[in-house]
């Protein structure tokens, strides 16, 4: 039965993360928050992903304070992207850090937790999902299918994963297509199978990198998907999401009509067009990315393409860019076909870059790549060759991990991070301060030094 389609708006997070390196200031969001709130979106994605790191590192903003400000001005549910046991960092954190982070995010106003794991290893999702389900504010908890292409990944595999997410208590499931790999008719088939297998709503998130975006949404909508992610026009398309206004217009007068006022979006879009132009100028950003159908082969998420190109350019090897794109799928196959999403995308991309730059495969192997291969981030979709691990990468037999839960238990606890902070002279830290430090120690330390009153030490109860 056809029904009204809901839209999650990404202009406050993934839109500017995809096109402007996550550099949007809160002050650039605030003038349009009331107008965004009136539109009637399913949710406003405004936190998580790279925003936490970027607030501290580049924008001189406390991400917790940003969330407080957003919550004070929005009735529409605020949504975040959370990397399961990775939270918003690049390591696996202990269960108590994960639980406390989720609890605090909910207290500060998070209404929707979208939780994923880079390897689709449900063991890495359990703690975060249970923590979100246990929050007294009762947020919406959404589990993700991280979509990718490989000989292993079929629609049936994704359906089996979705059943596990439903069994874990998730309120909905999101198909997270971070590289724009989901083809229209494949989306139709996947959504139909998910709707037949599940009793909870299905949401679809894609990027326009391949050019499939709007076609994929339309076929998924016809197949019964409940909600789609879109970005207002200035921050849409290219490596971002399909355009909100276009999607609303396409569905007007049909059984899938969103019921949203497209005309009310126009002044909001005009504001964000100016914001985009200001960001490009302020941070010397490229500001645009071409659609690249070949992403189906190399599968690099849009935000990574420019970073990899810059790495080669800095080494005077920009002519090797195509070699890098060819090497990415080979490295990915070697390490068990992981979906390429943070942090696995950065790890595989760096390894491929070293292979191309040195002219010899695996001559230099970063620690993070060895950790991914040996199972520190979880179980890859396809078992990695024992000979590859021990001979090619030189990983000792004793360091190959099979029990990721036991490995996570070894991670530093919240109390360890607090003790470390106090040893550095940061006194009276709040739980939020400790969490910021746990995720990004060096970046948070520099931020704290700028914002807390220096005496013999930094008294964090006295903000400067």
449-452 LR contacts (CB < 8 Å, sep 24+)? 450/60, 451/62, 452/426
**DSSP class per residue in 126-159:** HHHHHHHHT-TT--EEEEEEE---SSS--HHHHH
- Neighbouring C-beta atoms of residue 157, cutoff 10 Å: 14
User: What CATH code is carried by the domain that includes residue 187?
Assistant: 3.20.20.70
- Same domain? 165 vs 239: yes
Residue 295 lies in a domain: no
Residue 105 lies in a domain: yes
- Same domain? 20 vs 131: yes
Query: Given this model, what pLDDT does residue 310 score?
Result: 64
Query: Given this model, what pLDDT does residue 455 score?
Result: 47
Residue 292 lies in a domain: no
User: What CATH code is carried by the domain that includes residue 305?
Assistant: 1.10.472.90
Can you name the residues that pair with 452 across neighbouring β-strands? 463
Q: Return d(Cα 239, Cα 349) in angstroms, integer.
A: 17
Domain count, the chain: 3
- Neighbouring C-beta atoms of residue 447, cutoff 10 Å: 21
Q: Is residue 206 a contact partner of residue 221, using CB atoms and an 8 Å limit?
A: no
- Same domain? 335 vs 420: no
β-pairing, 458-463 vs 452-454, is antiparallel
Query: Given this model, what pLDDT does residue 297 score?
Result: 85
- Same domain? 326 vs 244: no
Residue 188 lies in a domain: yes
* Burial environment of residue 222 by CB neighbours within 10 A (0 to 12, 13 to 18, 19 or more): middle
User: What CATH code is carried by the domain that includes residue 430?
Assistant: 1.10.10
- Same domain? 181 vs 139: yes
Residue where a domain stops, chosen among 227, 253, 283: 283
Residue 373 lies in a domain: yes
Rg from Cα positions in the chain: 22
Q: Is residue 241 a contact partner of residue 22, using CB atoms and an 8 Å limit?
A: no
Per-run averaged pLDDT (10 residues), the chain, 464 residues:
90 94 96 98 97 96 98 98 95 96 98 97 97 98 97 97 98 96 98 98 96 98 98 95 98 97 98 96 82 86 68 82 92 95 90 94 96 95 95 95 86 96 91 97 94 64 59
Give residues with Cβ within 8 angstroms of 232, minimum separation 6: 9, 11, 15, 243, 244, 245, 265, 268, 269, 272
Q: Is residue 85 a contact partner of residue 92, using CB atoms and an 8 Å limit?
A: yes
**In sequence order, what E strands does 311-406 have?**
none
Query: Given this model, what pLDDT does residue 112 score?
Result: 98
Residue 463 lies in a domain: no
Residue 164 lies in a domain: yes
Residue where a domain stops, chosen among 283, 316, 332: 283
Give residues with Cβ within 8 angstroms of 354, minimum separation 6: 363, 364, 365, 366
- Same domain? 160 vs 91: yes
- Same domain? 327 vs 275: no
Query: Given this model, what pLDDT does residue 402 score?
Result: 87
- Same domain? 62 vs 109: yes
Residue 290 lies in a domain: no
What string of H, E and C letters represents the secondary structure of 161-189?
A: HHHHHHHCCCCEEEEEECCCCCCHHHHHH
Domain containing residue 421: 414-451
Which residue, chain included where needed, has tokens 């190399």?
298
β-pairing, 78-82 vs 172-177, is unpaired
- Same domain? 56 vs 81: yes
- Same domain? 84 vs 105: yes
- Same domain? 332 vs 349: yes
Residue where a domain stops, chosen among 230, 249, 283: 283
Which residue, chain included where needed, has tokens 């605090």?
104
Q: Is residue 435 a contact partner of residue 456, using CB atoms and an 8 Å limit?
A: no
Query: Given this model, what pLDDT does residue 453 score?
Result: 63
- Same domain? 192 vs 72: yes
Whether omega for the bond prior to residue 32 falls within 30 degrees of 0, making it cis, is no
Query: Given this model, what pLDDT does residue 298 score?
Result: 83
């Amino acid at each position: 039965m056809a029904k009204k389609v809901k839209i999650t708006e990404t202009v406050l997070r993934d839109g500017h993360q995809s096109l402007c390196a996550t550099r949007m200031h809160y002050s650039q969001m605030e003038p349009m928050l009331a107008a965004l709130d009136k539109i009637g979106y399913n949710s406003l994605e405004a936190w998580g992903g790279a925003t936490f790191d970027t607030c501290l590192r580049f924008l001189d903003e406390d991400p917790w304070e940003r969330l407080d400000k957003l919550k004070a001005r929005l009735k529409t549910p605020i949504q975040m992207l959370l990397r399961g046991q990775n939270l918003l960092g690049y390591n696996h954190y202990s269960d108590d850090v994960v639980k406390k982070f989720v609890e605090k995010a909910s207290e500060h106003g998070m209404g929707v937790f979208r939780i994923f794991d880079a390897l689709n290893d449900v063991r890495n999702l359990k703690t975060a999902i249970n923590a979100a389900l246990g929050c007294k504010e009762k947020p919406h908890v959404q589990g993700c299918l991280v979509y990718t292409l490989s000989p292993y990944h079929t629609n049936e595999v994704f359906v089996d994963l979705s059943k596990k997410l439903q069994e874990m208590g998730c309120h909905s499931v999101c198909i997270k297509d971070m590289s724009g790999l989901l083809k229209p008719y494949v989306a139709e088939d996947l959504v139909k199978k998910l709707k037949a297998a599940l009793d909870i709503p299905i949401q679809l998130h894609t990027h326009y990198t391949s050019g499939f975006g709007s076609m994929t949404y339309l076929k998924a909508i016809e197949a019964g998907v409940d909600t789609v992610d879109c970005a207002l026009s200035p921050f849409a398309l290219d490596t971002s999401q399909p355009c909100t206004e276009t999607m609303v217009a396409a569905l007007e007068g049909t059984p899938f009509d969103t019921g949203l006022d497209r005309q009310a979006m126009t002044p909001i879009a005009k504001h964000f067009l100016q914001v985009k132009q200001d960001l490009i100028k302020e941070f010397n950003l490229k500001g645009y990315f071409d659609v690249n159908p070949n992403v189906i082969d190399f599968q690099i998420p849009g935000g990574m393409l420019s970073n990899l190109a810059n790495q080669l350019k800095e080494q005077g090897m920009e002519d090797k860019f195509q070699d890098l794109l060819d090497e990415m799928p080979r490295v990915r196959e070697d390490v068990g076909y992981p979906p390429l999403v943070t942090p696995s995308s950065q790890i595989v991309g760096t390894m491929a870059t070293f292979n191309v730059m040195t002219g010899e495969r695996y001559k230099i192997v970063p620690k993070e790549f060895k950790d991914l291969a040996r199972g520190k981030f979880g179980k890859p979709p396809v078992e990695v060759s024992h000979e590859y691990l021990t001979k090619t990468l030189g990983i000792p037999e004793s360091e190959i991990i099979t029990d990721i839960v036991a490995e996570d238990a070894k991670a530093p606890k919240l109390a360890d991070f607090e003790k470390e902070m106090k040893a550095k002279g940061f006194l009276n830290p709040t739980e939020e301060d400790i969490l910021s430090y746990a995720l990004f120690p060096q970046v948070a330390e520099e931020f704290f030094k700028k914002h807390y009153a220096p005496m013999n030490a930094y008294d964090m109860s006295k903000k400067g």
